[in-house]
Structure 1
Amino acid sequence: MPQQPVVQLRNVTKRIHGKTIVDRLTFDVPKGEVFGFLGPNGAGKTTTIRMMVGLISMSEGEVLVNGISVNKQFERAMKHVGAIVENPELYKFLTGYQNLIHFARMIPGISRDRIDEVVELVKLENRIHDKVKTYSLGMRQRLGVAQAILHKPDVLILDEPTNGLDPEGIRELRDYLRRLANEEGTAVVVSSHLLSEMELMCDRVAIIQSGKLVDVRQVRDLVGAEEGAVRVTFVAEPARLAADVAARAMPGADVSAQPGGFAASLGYEDIPELVRLLVQADVRVYGVKAASKTLEDQFLEMTRGGRIV
């Protein structure tokens, strides 16, 4: 049974000086999903995120959080939202813990136990009592996420959270966003210019171009095998014998010999059968790799090579 959407965009539109920046965007984000938001330069990605958190108004349409309209009941809707747009704003002369205490005072009902819980969740236990001015950018991002989730929001919205992070920081961010979704059931909406990271982080991605929604797809569908035949590379010895066996066993597979093996166009269901036939023919099979398109390949096809911001 599908999860009830936590976030719903319905025909969200933004016009500035008669120019349409975002054009009737409609999509849903359910509980416990990491949802990626991708778009070429000038596609309206950041404008959409700003409308979702009420930083700018919509020309038309509606954003609902748990069924509550951001337009009509802003304060009620924002009680269910945590967000970092661009960089987290923190008090650098205070410790990380003092920052969280300060933010906790703004929202009734946040206990010390909850503060300790989010500190552990973002893995800042060893540095939480140090001043923020001594933190790396990655640690500040983690503290920003901790601040954003103090009140147990149903949705966490992050605009370009990987900006300025080193590879270790990016991996840490990816890991605890996945943990938030899996352990706390938080819906996470994240934009990023690093497609390889979105591929690892997200369950689904929405792609927009020129303010319009191109598609919303499961990441596993985007990067998985295409329907029909895929190009498969076999590492096998003797290479010539391997190629001959494959050509005889799979007519029409477009078998081509390569150093150390061969390549062939096969259906996924044909791969184990061909491996069995190769082994029967005394061919030593060392590896099989099916080519699949990356998220970047798919993105560039959908946007016709548009650049990412």
Structure 2
Amino acid sequence: MNEPIVQLQGVTKRIGRRTIIDKLTLDLPLGEVFGFLGPNGAGKTTTIRMMVGLMSITEGEILIGGHSIRSEFHKAIRHVGAIVENPEMYKYLTGYQNLVHYARMIPGITTERMTEVIELVGLESRIHDKVKTYSLGMRQRLGVAQAIMHKPKLLILDEPTNGLDPAGIRELRDYLRKLSQQEGITVFVSSHLLTEMELMCDRVAIIQNGKLIDVRSIQSNHSSTALSRYVFEVDEPEAVIRLVQAEGLTVEREGNAVAISTDKEQAAEWNARLVRAGIKVYGMRVLNKSLEDQFLEVTGGERIV
């Protein structure tokens, strides 16, 4: 298994007597889009600021590419591209001139690499227009292009969809997934848009009051082996309950229906088995918990901001 690109090891941040982040331990695998969720004041931005060296760590360690952000900052940060809050550009310059300006700060960035990232974020047709004529979504994409020019292993985005319209959000989502797949970059993204995170991310970490509550895999929700609740509408619910309990599975009665916790393949087999047993099956549907349901479940219903 590949070494995680980021390791947060017991990271704590205290300001005065207040603990903002409390012993946060988290690994970010290489090549994934990893979401960071939490209610208002949970510590998302504080964590990101510590990861990029904008805020000191009280206790614990953050390793990026195996290097400590505390004691080997320059070695660690060379693996990172980041946009904290909004990407800042020179609006009186063109998109291309902005990229040239940033490229001069980092040795080894070629014209070919600049062309590559411009194509990757889909700005070929507008790159020579002044940034003041760009939509917010285009500025976000230009910011991503600037952040990945030096081929980082980690791209950190703090609320990148703020202010974007639905089309802009979808475009950004598609580009971030393409980045992780084509460039092998780990994208670490915080957002308050649960639906977008569900579509965008491979995994999400949920924090509350500065503590890690859970890490959830998003893709597994849609796999054939993931456990879900399948509801069977039948004429003899009690008979179904006896059959299922005899197999040691979790089953609940819901009126004239029963809900069985099983995977996709087994649900199909149960449907056939019930019919063979002479039980009439009027319908079957799956009840997958959305990311929003899961979030509210683990945070006790706190609002996310």
Give the TM-score band, short-chain normalised.
Answer: 0.7 to 0.9
Is 1:265–2:259 an aligned residue pair? Answer: yes
2:51 alignment partner in structure 1: 52
Query: What are the superposed Cα offsets for residues 232-268 of structure 1, whole Å, 9 maximum, x if unpaired?
Result: 266xxxxxxxx327776665763645xxxxx431243
Cα offset for 1:273?
3.5
Give the secondary-structure state (helix, strand or coil) at the position aligned to 1:230: strand
1:289 paired with 2:289, answer: no
Q: Secondary structure at the match of 1:92?
A: coil
Kept in 2: contact 1:224–1:293 (CA 8 A): no
CA contact 2:228–2:287 (8 Å) conserved in 1: no
1:117-164 alpha-carbon deviations (Å, 9 max, x no partner):
001111111111111111111111000000000000010000000111
**1:155 — aligned with what?**
154
Distance 1:270 1:135, change over 3 A: same
RMSD over aligned Cα atoms: 2.7
Q: Is the 8 A contact 2:95 2:131 kept in 1?
A: yes
1:65 paired residue number: 64
**Cα contact 1:229–1:265 (8 A) shared by 2:** no
- Aligned: 1:308 with 2:299: no
Give distance in 1, aligned partners of 2:16 and 2:298: 28
> Which is worse superposed, 209-218 or 243-252?
243-252
2:4 alignment counterpart: 5
SS at match of 1:13: strand
Q: TM-score, normalised by structure 2?
A: 0.87
- For the 8 Å contact 1:157–1:190, the answer to whether it is kept is yes
Q: 1:28 Cα shift?
A: 1.1
Q: 1:232 to 1:18 in 2, by over 3 A?
A: same
Name the residue aligned to 1:299: 295
1:7-58 superposed Cα distances (whole Å, 9 cap, x missing partner)? 1111111111221111111111121011111111111111000000011111
> Whole-Å Cα distance in 2 between the matches of residues 284 and 136 of structure 1?
53
Instruction: Report the counterpart of residue 187 of structure 2 in structure 1.
Output: 188
1:238-277 → structure 2 map (5 Å cutoff): 243-244=234-235, 251=242, 254=253, 256=255, 263-268=257-262, 271-273=267-269, 275-276=271-272
How is 1:1-309 mapped onto 2 (pairs within 5 angstroms)? 2-221=1-220, 230-232=229-231, 243-244=234-235, 251=242, 254=253, 256=255, 263-268=257-262, 271-273=267-269, 275-276=271-272, 288-309=284-305
Instruction: State the identity %.
Output: 62
The answer (yes or no) to whether the contact 1:246–1:274 under 8 Å persists in 2 is no
Aligned residues: 294
Q: Deviations over 1:155-200 (max 9, x none)?
A: 0000000111111111111111111111111111100001111111
Distance of 2:153 and 2:288 partners within structure 1:
34
- Structure 1 gap segments, 5+ residues each: 235-242, 258-262
The Cα shift of 1:271 comes to: 2.9
Q: Structure 1 CA distance, aligned partners of 2:254 and 2:14?
A: 54
Q: Distance in 2 between matches of 1:223 and 1:304?
A: 24
Distance 1:189 1:244, change over 3 A: same
The 3 A distance-change label for structure 1 pair 105 and 295 is same
